[in-house]
Amino acid sequence: MNEIEKLFRKISKKDRESLLEIVEELQSKTRSLYSSIQKVSGTEFYRLKKGRYRIIFHYASDGVIIDSIRLRNERTYKAL
């Protein structure tokens, strides 16, 4: 079981559905998300904010790769 699956088991159904919707939009390259996507400085990763959560991802030749979904805290970007 990976980090994202563990998080989804712990969070509320409402948060889980919201995050899954965002991930689906991100993978389908919906233009509405582009304004809230920012590059994480000093890395090849990008982030997308959704409330208390941060979706960390990067672009690959075959699309978007979701690296992690984390609760925002002081260590959110340290391990990148």
pLDDT tens for 10-43 read 999 999 999 999 888 888 876 666 778 899 988 9
Query: What superfamily would CATH give domain 3-71?
Result: RelE-like (3.30.2310.20)
- State mean pLDDT over 55-76: 86
Distances in Å between the alpha carbon of 66 and those of 10, 15, 60, 78?
Answer: 19, 17, 10, 17
> In 3D, which of 20, 12, 14, 27 has the Cα closest to residue 69?
20
pTM of the shown model:
0.82
